[in-house]
Structure 1
């Protein structure tokens, strides 16, 4: 079997920008409608049987028309589909839940592959051979370990070090001045970890443009680089409450989903549900 772990927060933001705006009960629901459709599309795939959807902490502010204002409703929508939901609180984020789930389920008997459904490059650090892969559904790209190396120039274990140097605008991390993707990848393809990069450019065994300047910046901003890496590294100790068997999708509970769709004025989703829960 394959285990699909979905970044619900990313999907909600994607749907907010892609789905038509809509209003129900005096609040915006367009992103939630889009989320229901993209999750239903996932469930229509023959290789999808075990699924969990992770979200960052829910705000559910009715006065916020953006994704944060629809997140509480998004959790309810996902549950109405009959899917396992992991809402993160306190120090954990959705990415941490996905990383923990990948580590937890990948080696369990019967699991062929764990598929991390997200476009967030942070999750590339969790890729392991062909056993744990990243699936960017928006662009239709899958990343196993060789694909990660081809795309970013480093192995999965070096992704936090790589992003610490070059930065990650999506997470608001600036990286170190002057460091770009090519220089970071070249150094880390050789040394793998920040600590293994020699402090003097004259000691580097690979050629990098502007080496002296980059080495000086790394020395002067060493603690910043370590801080950025710590922020990018994902936790793998989230106390997830579900066993592998509990991730199996039983089908959508018809009554609950019909009521939710009526609540948000969604009229077309039900015809696209591939299976209904027996007795629901």
Structure 2
């Protein structure tokens, strides 16, 4: 069994800002439903979709500059509850996050699902670099960039970032994440950070004094001084960048099994202008039923 975990927030933004979106009020919602049905058509059997019911989370209490809903178009914000309702009516398992973020739900669900011996692999469907920390060395948890049709395994994370998945929160703490709204530490770029963390792995293992470093890095004296003066800040940024695996998701794997739309789906699609998706969904359900062992 393969489990597909989808970043619904990413998908909603992607479809809203797509050049082909001509319906600013409902188009992104219909695009996400279409996208999930495509996954089913491609063979996915167990799916979970995580969304940010609100953009803010517990991380806003940790860092005042953390991302907020400011600047998000109102017509896009209005589609978060809409897409959650539409996906549930289409028969998908949806996890709307309030205190946590969609990333937390994806990571928590991936770790929990991977513990089940019936699960061959968990695919976290998002290109978001934060989720790289969830990728495992045994290949049971991977990332999948659906737009580029690219699977990112343990080797792929190391190739892309220069560090192992376990060091991704430390990496982000030092280089920062402008999308999420925390700056990292001055002078710590991607290359220097990868070089240092590929050796020390975790922030607490990096000595304060450059004379104690066991590696040679350009500008090491300044980097060491910056880290020594801002170590607590770096640890805070790492906390912000770390997936919270306590986020609420599923109790049993069969909650994610797609069995078809609910009776509410046709009426809801008619209201949103997605009547064309009703027949497609029913065809997929019939095909799924026909493929089940008798």
With the length of structure 2 as denominator, give the TM-score of the two structures.
Answer: 0.86
| Offset of residue 22 of structure 1 | 1.1
Q: What is the 5 A alignment of 1:171-210?
A: 171-210=180-219
Is this contact kept in 1: 2:109–2:250, CA < 8 A?
Answer: no
| Offset of residue 20 of structure 1 | 0.9
Tell me the residue number matched to 2:150: 141
Count of residue pairs the alignment pairs up:
268
Is this contact kept in 2: 1:252–1:275, CA < 8 A?
Answer: no
Measure, in 2, the Cα distance between the counterparts of 1:16 and 1:203: 50
Measure, in 1, the Cα distance between the counterparts of 2:190 and 2:26: 38
Among candidates 232, 235, 239, match of residue 244 of structure 2: 235
Tell me the residue number matched to 1:52: 48
Measure, in 1, the Cα distance between the counterparts of 2:248 and 2:39: 26
Label 1:179 to 1:22 Cα distance change in 2 as closer, same or farther (>3 A): same
SS of the aligned residue for 1:169 comes to coil
- Note the residue ranges of structure 1 that are not aligned, 5 or more in a row: none
Is this contact kept in 2: 1:5–1:114, CA < 8 A?
Answer: yes
SS of the aligned residue for 1:171 comes to coil
Pair 1:262 & 2:255 matched:
no
| Offset of residue 177 of structure 1 | 0.8
Q: What is the 5 A alignment of 1:81-96?
A: 81-90=90-99, 92-96=100-104
SS of the aligned residue for 1:276 comes to helix
Is this contact kept in 1: 2:266–2:275, CA < 8 A?
Answer: no
Tell me the residue number matched to 1:75: 84
Measure, in 2, the Cα distance between the counterparts of 1:67 and 1:199: 45
| Offset of residue 88 of structure 1 | 1.3
| Offset of residue 199 of structure 1 | 1.2
Among candidates 23, 38, 50, match of residue 41 of structure 1: 38
Measure, in 1, the Cα distance between the counterparts of 2:30 and 2:199: 46
Is this contact kept in 1: 2:122–2:141, CA < 8 A?
Answer: yes
With the length of structure 1 as denominator, give the TM-score of the two structures.
Answer: 0.90
Among candidates 89, 106, 117, match of residue 98 of structure 1: 106
| Offset of residue 58 of structure 1 | 4.7
Tell me the residue number matched to 1:124: 132
Is this contact kept in 1: 2:90–2:260, CA < 8 A?
Answer: yes
**Alpha-carbon displacement from aligned partner over 1:45-74 (angstroms, at most 9, x marks no partner):** 12x111111111258xxx954421210101
SS of the aligned residue for 1:41 comes to helix
| Offset of residue 142 of structure 1 | 1.3
Is this contact kept in 2: 1:58–1:72, CA < 8 A?
Answer: no
- Note the residue ranges of structure 2 that are not aligned, 5 or more in a row: 56-71, 290-294
Is this contact kept in 2: 1:16–1:66, CA < 8 A?
Answer: no
| Offset of residue 147 of structure 1 | 0.8
Measure, in 2, the Cα distance between the counterparts of 1:66 and 1:11: 15
Measure, in 2, the Cα distance between the counterparts of 1:135 and 1:67: 25
Tell me the residue number matched to 1:168: 177
Measure, in 2, the Cα distance between the counterparts of 1:150 and 1:246: 35
SS of the aligned residue for 1:275 comes to helix
| Offset of residue 15 of structure 1 | 1.0
Pair 1:12 & 2:12 matched:
yes
Pair 1:212 & 2:209 matched:
no
Label 1:164 to 1:66 Cα distance change in 2 as closer, same or farther (>3 A): farther
Tell me the residue number matched to 2:160: 151
